[in-house]
Structure 1
Amino acid sequence: MKKEWLSIASIYVGTVIGAGFASGREIIEFFGVYGINGIWGMFIVGIILSLIGSLLLIKIYNNKIRGFDELICNIFGKRFGVILDSIITFSLYTGFSVMVAGSGAIFSQELNLSFNLGVIFMVVLSFIVFLFSLEGLSFINTMLVPLLVIGIIFTSLYLNIREGYNFSNINGVNLTLKGNFLTSALLYVGSNSLIIVVVFSSLLPMINSKRTAILGGVTGGFILSILGMSILTSMLIYYNEVFLLDIPMLKICDYISNGYRKFYAFILWISIFTTALANGFGFMNKVSNSKYKILITALYCLLSIPVAKLGFSKLVAVLYPIFGLIGIFVLIFILVAL
């Protein structure tokens, strides 16, 4: 029997583990700055992601929600729903643009190729997958997410065992603009909530029972927690050397070998690709009934390029906390109202 819950878990992981996550930039911004307390923050994130993933999938199954537009209108009403829908559409656009920027950064830093080539490569491949809708998203995530999991966990275990978990950033700071490690954890969940809600609201064809919903949500949340811990502990060992870098995990991989750095760059690009697809799939679902679907999707992809050129780390630092606040509000409202 086909394991739908594994496909759902793969989509969950692929949706969240984007350029900011796998590169370590997002992990430093939200957790690494707090030192050891950041580990507690990531542990809390894992619990929350498992809970909200399961609850959201169960509610979508029980209420037979077939798309994000239907979800928003049922809960928020038509007037406010239009405003919220506009905000989320913008977040899908900027989220895709951040991933496109990450692809450009990898091509530039690791392959010594043009930043623009990396941007175009991501845009073209994403557009091709978008043409296959949910089937394309499910297939790509089921194939690529296992590679992500293996690559990230191996890197962390190798470095931490070799260095004896000797962290260079233990105490960290107590407060940042995001608050402490607890509020930062909540903001992190919130920053991913919008895209999670959008993608999950389209997964009804894959949810054949409550058991599938629970297993998919819990498994996805658990894997994300393990991957986050793996990257965070590696960040804490080499924190002083990498905390200002756009893609700190690639610098860390230099401590293994230059060849391994290239391998991890491939892993990182996969993580960027899966999250770019998640953002694009959310947008695609909104225009699925339009006769201009292909043209609109092409414009969506092309219009990401100007935003991508603003730079990867700048986009992560500015946009993610803002969408975090919006995401927390939307997620709590949905879980209570459905």
Structure 2
Amino acid sequence: MIKGEFSNILKVAFLYMATIIGAGFASGQEIIQFFSIYYKGGFLGIILAGGLFSIIGYIVLSKVYTDRIRSYDEFLFPMMGYFLGRVMEFIVMLFMACVMSVMTAGLGNILMDITGLDYRVCVIIGVAVCLIAILTNIKGIVMLSSVISPVLIAGIVFVGCYILVSKDTSVFNISNKFSVITNNWVFSAILYVSYNTILSTVLLTGMLPYLKSRKVSAWGGVVGGGMLGVTALILNSALYLFYPHSITSEIPVLGIIQNNSRLLSQIYSGVLILAMFISTVTSGYCLADRISKKLKLNYKLVAVILCAMTIPLTSLGFSNLISTLYPVFGYLGLFMVFVILFQHVRGLFSNKYSRG
């Protein structure tokens, strides 16, 4: 029983992580944009972000379990009301569409580099594979995340540790002296948590069948947030070591290891493909699920149409999305984070006074 419970906790934690550890995280772009540019403050920002991820994961999953929530609507509208709920719903769906399109574009780029095929052909191949996974619905995605997330984490941690151990910074001819750009690492960390909460909440509110007990729901969120923080700290340490060279690369982590090990760079290209794949699949599933339920359409038909629509939208840039659109959605998602935390605190005080 204990072994089974631990397995369920890890399954929930890995699914939580799968909604956040996408290509932006694995490539190092998100870490650069939201943490590394703040130098030492970036490390404190990651600790803050990891803590917030654990708290939010704990609150959302605990509420899903205790209130027997089975859909995003059951979570969102009682918490925000009809009007604000509709506004947030539109923001959520727009963000999922952006993530799905850009990750598909990134997947096409990497496949083109590996295979030498035409970019459009690679995009179509990538979309087709992602569609197959999306059509498996939540059960298939949970199984995929249970397999892919540990591989992603292991790959990121291994490469990060390799870079820290080898630390051959001489190839970049950079100084080890760092100057502080800004001290606003706190707000940057909050923005990072904010836009990631938009997508992760959608998926977590559909996790009731996998929350076998109160302990699984609580610890699944806490463990997931904690592992995210540790993984980000390792990656940020590697990027910090090679700063400012790392900021000039489209895919910072890959740019660093290409100068140290060709074999490792090829392996990490595979890690990035998995990261882009899981990002596309999770966002695609959430979007197809929302649209099919709202419009009362067949889920599989909606999934096919959405995947087909991403093909002409793959001209959007990878790093540009992270540096421009992600912060915008971070600001838009701040209200959701605030409401989740506020409602939880209010609930704690209500229970305390009702017992008294």
Do these two structures clear the TM 0.5 threshold for a shared fold by scoring above it? yes
1: CA distance between counterparts of 2:160 and 2:287? 34
Which residue is equivalent to 2:178? Answer: 171
Confirm or deny: 8 A CA contact 1:168 1:238 kept in the other structure: no
1:241-270 Cα offsets, whole Å, 9 max, x none, are 231221111111113311110100001111
AA matched with 1:317: S
Change (3 A) 1:44 1:158: same
Change (3 A) 1:172 1:267: farther
Question: Is the aligned partner of 1:264 residue 2:268?
Answer: yes
AA matched with 1:65: I
Q: CA deviation at 1:4?
A: 1.7
RMSD, aligned CA: 2.1
1:205-231 Cα offsets, whole Å, 9 max, x none, are 111222101221111111111211121
Q: State which of 235, 241, 260 in structure 2 corresponds to 1:237.
A: 241
Question: Is the aligned partner of 1:10 residue 2:14?
Answer: yes
Confirm or deny: 8 A CA contact 1:22 1:268 kept in the other structure: yes
Question: Is the aligned partner of 1:157 residue 2:170?
Answer: no
2: CA distance between counterparts of 1:86 and 1:38? 31
Question: Is the aligned partner of 1:85 residue 2:89?
Answer: yes
Q: CA deviation at 1:46?
A: 1.0
AA matched with 1:174: I
Q: State which of 225, 240, 245 in structure 1 corresponds to 2:229.
A: 225
What percent of counterpart residues are identical?
31
Which residue is equivalent to 1:124? Answer: 128
Question: Is the aligned partner of 1:296 residue 2:307?
Answer: no
Which residue is equivalent to 1:255? Answer: 259
Which residue is equivalent to 2:201? Answer: 197
Which residue is equivalent to 1:66? Answer: 70
AA matched with 1:24: G
Q: State which of 164, 182, 187 in structure 2 corresponds to 1:183.
A: 187
Confirm or deny: 8 A CA contact 1:160 1:234 kept in the other structure: yes
Change (3 A) 1:12 1:159: same
Q: CA deviation at 1:160?
A: 0.7
More displaced stretch, 273-282 vs 12-21: 273-282
2: CA distance between counterparts of 1:169 and 1:301? 45
More displaced stretch, 3-12 vs 105-114: 105-114
Higher Rg of the two aligned structures: 2
Confirm or deny: 8 A CA contact 1:169 1:236 kept in the other structure: no
Partner of 1:16, secondary structure, is coil
Query: How high is the TM-score relative to the length of structure 2?
Result: 0.88
2: CA distance between counterparts of 1:168 and 1:134? 48
2: CA distance between counterparts of 1:111 and 1:233? 32
Change (3 A) 1:169 1:132: farther
2: CA distance between counterparts of 1:226 and 1:118? 34
Confirm or deny: 8 A CA contact 1:36 1:171 kept in the other structure: no
2: CA distance between counterparts of 1:168 and 1:227? 26
Unaligned runs of 5+ in 1: none
**How many residues end up aligned between the 2 structures?**
335
More displaced stretch, 73-82 vs 22-31: 73-82
More displaced stretch, 107-116 vs 90-99: 107-116
AA matched with 2:318: F
Change (3 A) 1:169 1:217: farther
1: CA distance between counterparts of 2:169 and 2:197? 31
More displaced stretch, 193-202 vs 155-164: 155-164
2: CA distance between counterparts of 1:9 and 1:248? 26
Partner of 1:243, secondary structure, is helix
More displaced stretch, 155-164 vs 248-257: 155-164
Confirm or deny: 8 A CA contact 2:26 2:275 kept in the other structure: yes
2: CA distance between counterparts of 1:10 and 1:43? 19
Question: Is the aligned partner of 1:305 residue 2:326?
Answer: no
1: CA distance between counterparts of 2:309 and 2:328? 21
Which residue is equivalent to 1:34? Answer: 38
Q: State which of 313, 316, 321 in structure 1 corresponds to 2:322.
A: 316
1: CA distance between counterparts of 2:224 and 2:237? 20
2: CA distance between counterparts of 1:89 and 1:33? 30
